[in-house]
Amino acid sequence: MFFKLISMKKIFISILVLTSIQSFSQKFENLAPTPPMGWNSWNTFQTNISEDLVKGIADSMVSSGMKDAGYTYLVLDDGWMAMQRDSITGNLVPDPIKFPHGMKALVDYVHSKGLKFGLYNCAGTKTCAGYPGTRGYEYQDARFYASLGIDYLKFDWCYTDSINAQEAYGTMGKALVTAKQPIIFSLCEWGTHKPWLWAAKDGQLWRTTNDIGACFQGEFDTSSGWKPNCVMTCVDQNEPLRKYAGPNHWNDPDMLEVGNGMSVAEDRTHFSLWCMMASPLIAGNDIRKMTAATRQILTNKQAISINQDALGIQGWRYASKDSVDTWFKPLSNGDWAVCFVNRSRQPQKISFDWNNENVQDNISLQQLNAGTIQYKIVDVWAGKNNETTNKTFHADIPSHDVVMLKLMKQ
């Protein structure tokens, strides 16, 4: 009897320890072992959103092949709320005109399509579009999201004067865990306070750049005076941060602008680099009306397999010469991804001798051994796979275009 009591006491203590660990956890574990994939309303629709739009997007994510390609999350950005909280409960209120059947019914509709649902709010007193923010309501809002059954929260950084970023995002992260609904936490802090140094305990991804715009490189002016980053600016800011990324904690250089006005070549390069950088793939186009070319880019299986590789290693710029950047990314099973990016306005010729290049990743300690191991070369965009690394690779790359390869061990 004495030993039975001792054993029961040990079991009880173990339960207390496990419960304590969970209660102090800053985030739910293993929600994003690979970069999240989905769609967000902001890039195309801003606050012009509605119940019918969301249902149409959900239907199109299924019918277009986006869902089958891995795009899981449908995220409703700023503008879904009424301008005031409920006067009695203090809860957020979905805009009754935009969402006449309420938010729970819409979440259930999206879930019925085999998709997951996300919402937006802000760490400040207001959202960027002026709707009610979360400051001072973190735990209440987390309970509200849990009651809706959402799966993803994008948390922005407007109206945050005198607010400490680490404290604000840490509080929201704890609130989500306390609400007991597994929700991916996307920190949209724009990289201002270097979230890559502290946010891995709070969420699954964090912004590393200013907002993106549908432009390839240079500056993009809008009528409002807002100047978003072009694609290559986001790339250049995100690339040096690769050591901070990995399974369940990803660098996020912002959403995709594929299909939003750049050329097909620029869209292809944009998507390729997001795949090489193991970035979240959050589409931002109107997928109900996308062209065949846009669909082919967003659903390319080989490119997505590079992004979703289980090792979760962010690729890096290996070399830059004559306006052509060469990127490498180690993959599972000893495979590699390679990407040649033509940043210039003129076509460029490239030659790459696999045997004479010492490709060593000093972070993951992976090494491309093309001198001793022969790899089959799969051209991700052309679909060719009739070459190997036993001879020098040659290619002509059009302006702002890319050649993306997957090297597979023979």
* Ramachandran region, residue 255 (left: φ > 0; alpha: ψ -120 to 50; beta: rest): beta
How confident is the model at residue 233, as a pLDDT? 97
Q: How far apart are CA 221 and CA 276, in angstroms?
A: 28
pLDDT-above-90 percentage for the chain: 89
Instruction: Out of 59, 211, 236, 379, pick the active-site residue.
Output: 211
199-209 pLDDT, tens digit per residue, is: 999 999 999 99
Identify residue 85 by its one-letter amino acid code. R
Whether 15 shows a pLDDT value over 90: the answer reads no
Mean pLDDT of 300-309: 98
CB contact at 8 A, 185 and 203: yes
pLDDT in tens, 85-123: 999 999 999 999 999 999 999 999 999 999 999 999 999
Q: What residue has token string 């994003």?
A: 32
Whole-number pLDDT of residue 410: 82
Domains and CATH numbers, the chain: 29-307 (3.20.20.70), 316-409 (2.60.40.1180)
- Give SS3 for 109: helix
8 A C-beta contact, residue 293 and residue 369? no
Question: Could you tell me if 287 and 62 are in contact, meaning their C-beta atoms sit under 8 angstroms apart?
Answer: no
Q: How confident is the model at residue 265 (pLDDT cuts 50, 70, 90)?
A: very high
Q: What was the pLDDT predicted at 191?
A: 97
- Identify the pLDDT of residue 227: 85
Confidence of residue 9 (pLDDT cuts 50, 70, 90): very low
CA atoms lying within 13 Å on the CB side of residue 72: 14
Beta carbons within 8 Å of 138's beta carbon, 6+ residues apart: 171, 172, 175
Instruction: List the Cα angle 400/243/217 in 5-degree steps.
Output: 20
Residue 247: pLDDT above 50? yes
Query: How much is the average pLDDT of 369-373?
Result: 88
Full DSSP string of 344-406: SSS-EEEEE-GGG---B-TTT--B--TTTS-EEEEETTT----EETTS-EEEEE-TT-EEEEE
Residue 77: CA count within 13 A, CB half-sphere: 19
b/e 149-172 (16+ beta carbons within 10 angstroms → b):
bbbbbbbbbbbbeeeebbebbbbb
Provide the pLDDT for residue 95: 98
Of 272-281, 295-304, 353-362, the range with the lowest mean pLDDT is 353-362
Choosing from 78, 156, 202, 267, the catalytic residue is 156
User: Are 42 and 78 spatial neighbours (Cβ–Cβ below 8 Å)?
Assistant: yes
For residue 384, pLDDT over 90 is answered with: no
- Averaged pLDDT of the chain: 93
CA–CA gap between residue 89 and residue 364 (Å, rounded): 50
pLDDT at res. 25:
45
> Does residue 211 have an active-site annotation?
yes
Q: Considering only 6-20, 255-269, 335-349, 373-387, which range has the smallest mean pLDDT?
A: 6-20
